[in-house]
Amino acid sequence: MFTVEKANEYLYENRIKCYDKEWRPGYHLAPPIGWMNDPNGLIHFKGEYHVFYQLYPYSSEWGPTHWGHFKSKDLISWELLPVALAPDRSYETHCYSGSAVNNNGIMTLIYTAHHETESPKEIQCIATSNDGIYFTKHLQPVISVHPEDGSEEFRDPKVWMHEGIWYMIVGTCKGNSGKAVLYSSKNLIDWDYKGVIAESGIFGDMWECIDLFKLGDKYVMTFSPMNPVSLEFKKSIFLIGSFNYDLAEFKIESHHEIDYGNDFYAANSFEDEKGRRILIGWMNMWRTKMPTQERGWAGALTIPRTLKLSRDNTVLSEPVEELKLLRENHHTIDFDEVQDNKKGYLKAVKGKYLELMVEFDSQNSDSERFGVIVRASIDCREFTEIYYSRATAEVVIDMKKSGVGECGIAKTVLKLEENENVSFHIFVDASSLEVFCNNGKCVLSNRIYPKEDSVITDLFSVGGNTCLISFDAWNLKTEDYFINSYNHL
C-alpha cells in the first residue's frame, strides 16, 4: 500500500543515496531519488511557483505514480516539498498527470486516477489544500466514466477558468484517432460534457497531456501524441488555431513541434501572475536509455520557457528571463571570424553548468557548417557539436560522441529570412543540453552523459570561414535543492 507519509519517509531516509555529482542537474528540476516523468499542476499560487511531477520514489524505473512537488519564488531557487499525492485509494494504482488551479485561495489538484486491472481504467479526481503543501483527496471521483466519444484511455485533465466557468480538457481516443474532449463546471465537482473539440489520427491514436490557452490573438493546443503516423509528430505538438467556447470547437490552422530535441515530452504550461505563458516539459522520452537509472534516479524537467506568437503565427519559445540570475563569470571574445578547421577559440570558457549566446552571419560566410562544441574532453574523444549546416539549412546537434548512452543526432530545418543571422542560446547542465535558435524559432532539448571532466568549449567552422557577430557566455550557479531542503518532509 502506498501513502504520502511512506513516500516522504523514504525520500528523507534515502536523501543522500543518489547524490550523483557527475550527472545530477545543477539548475534543472530532477527527482530527489527514484523516477520522474511529466510535469504536473504548474501554477503560480500566492506569489510562488509550484511544480508537481510524476514520481515513483522507490525505483529509478516508472512505477505506481505519485505527485512529487517543488516550489520557488523566482523559478530559479527551488524548495523540495512533501509528496502531494500517493495512489492510496481502491480505484487507483497510479495518480496520473493533471493540473492545479486556485479556487478562491484553495489550491485544487485535478488528476487522473488510473487503475491497472479494473474498469473504469481512468477517472478524474480532485484533491485540495489550504497551504499548497498538504492535500486532501475528495471522497468521490468528479468524472467517473469516459464519454461515449472516447474510450478507457481518458487522462491528464487540464483545468482553467474562463468568464467565471471552469473548463477541463482531457485526452482520449477512439478507433485510431486521438481526441481532446471538453467539460465545464461551476464548482470543480459537477462537470458537464461539451464534446470533442479536436481530433486527428495523423497526430497519433491517443493524445496525452493536452493543454489549451490563448496566445496573442490565437488559441494554442499542446499535446503529446502516441503512435503518430509520421515521425514528424513524435514528441509534443503545438496546434495553432481558433477556439469557440460556445460551439466547443477548436479549428486547427497550423502546427509544429514544440521541441525538436530527442528528450522532450508531456509539456504543460500555465499563466503566471505577470501574465506570461510559461511552458515546462519532461526532458526525457519514453523507451530511451537513461544511464542515470543505475545511480538511483531518472528524469529531469526542462528550464521554464515563455511562449509568444510570432508575426507568422508560429509559437516562439524562449528561456524565462529569471535564468539570468544564475549568471556569473561573464566571458566574451575579441575576434569576428571563425576559421576553417581551427581550434582553441574559447580557452577560458569551461564547465558543465554554462549559458552561451552565439550569433553567426551565415549569409556572408563561405563555410559548409559552423557552430559550437560543448562538453569536450582534453583528448577530444568526447564532445557534443551544435551546428548550422548551410547546405541543408538545418540546425544539428551531434551527440554521437557525447558520452555514455545512445544520444545520436537531433536536427530540424531553420529557415532564414533575408539577412537573418543564426543564433544559438545554449544551456548546458550536467547531463543536459537545451538549444534555443533564433530567438525561439526552434528549440532542441537533449540529455547527454559525458564524463565529469569533459568541460572544454569551442567554436568551429568547416569548409570555409564563418563570420561571428557576437559571443557571450557565463558559468551558471547551481543549487543542491534536493540535499538542502528536506525540512518540510
- Enzyme catalytic residues: 38
CB 383, CB 371: distance < 8 Å: no
Least distance (Å) between residue 86 CB and ligand FRU: 14
Among 60, 97, 402, 431, binds ligand FRU (CB under 6 A): 97
Least distance (Å) between residue 266 CB and ligand FRU: 4
User: Which residue lies nearer to ligand FRU by CB, 38 or 429?
Assistant: 38
State the Cα–Cα distance between residues 419 and 262, nearest whole angstrom: 30
Place of cell 528550464: 303
For 81, 207, 285, 295, 450, the CA distances from 405, given in Å and listed in that order, are 31, 28, 13, 14, 9
Q: What secondary structure does DSSP assign to 112-145, as a single string?
A: EEE-SSSSS-EEEEEEEESSSSS-EE-SS-SB-S
Least distance (Å) between residue 54 CB and ligand FRU: 4
User: Which residue lies nearer to ligand FRU by CB, 155 or 158?
Assistant: 155
- Binders of ligand FRU in range 18-37 (CB under 6 A): 37
Residues near 119 by beta carbon (within 8 Å), at least 6 away in sequence: 152
- By CB under 6 A, residue 143 contacts ligand FRU: no
- By CB under 6 A, residue 200 contacts ligand FRU: no
User: Which residue lies nearer to ligand FRU by CB, 65 or 461?
Assistant: 65
Residue nearest to ligand FRU (CB): 96
Least distance (Å) between residue 155 CB and ligand FRU: 5
User: Which residue lies nearer to ligand FRU by CB, 26 or 57?
Assistant: 57
Q: How many CB atoms are closer than 10 A to CB 133?
A: 14
Among 209, 278, 407, 456, binds ligand FRU (CB under 6 A): 209
- By CB under 6 A, residue 96 contacts ligand FRU: yes
User: Which residue lies nearer to ligand FRU by CB, 135 or 264?
Assistant: 264
Torsion of CA 451, 453, 455, 461, to 10 degrees: -70
Least distance (Å) between residue 59 CB and ligand FRU: 14
Burial of 139 per CB tally in 10 Å (0-12, 13-18, 19+)? exposed
Instruction: Tell me how many residues contact ligand FRU (CB under 6 A).
Output: 13
State the Cα–Cα distance between residues 214 and 7, nearest whole angstrom: 37
- Binders of ligand FRU in range 334-353 (CB under 6 A): none
Least distance (Å) between residue 135 CB and ligand FRU: 17
User: Which residue lies nearer to ligand FRU by CB, 68 or 351?
Assistant: 68
- By CB under 6 A, residue 38 contacts ligand FRU: yes
Least distance (Å) between residue 95 CB and ligand FRU: 9
Which backbone phi and psi does 350 adopt, to 5 degrees?
-130, 150
Among 31, 108, 126, 156, binds ligand FRU (CB under 6 A): 156
- By CB under 6 A, residue 208 contacts ligand FRU: yes
Which backbone phi and psi does 341 adopt, to 5 degrees?
60, 20
- Binders of ligand FRU in range 257-316 (CB under 6 A): 265-266
State the Cα–Cα distance between residues 432 and 444, nearest whole angstrom: 11
Among 15, 71, 146, 155, binds ligand FRU (CB under 6 A): 155
Q: How many CB atoms are closer than 10 A to CB 238?
A: 22
Nearest to 488 by CA among 83, 16, 113, 74: 83
User: Which residue lies nearer to ligand FRU by CB, 93 or 421?
Assistant: 93
Burial of 438 per CB tally in 10 Å (0-12, 13-18, 19+)? buried
Query: What grid cell was written down for 69?
Result: 512537488
- Binders of ligand FRU in range 53-82 (CB under 6 A): 54, 65
- By CB under 6 A, residue 211 contacts ligand FRU: no
Instruction: List interacting residues with ligand FRU (CB under 6 A).
Output: 37-38, 54, 65, 96-97, 112, 155-156, 208-209, 265-266
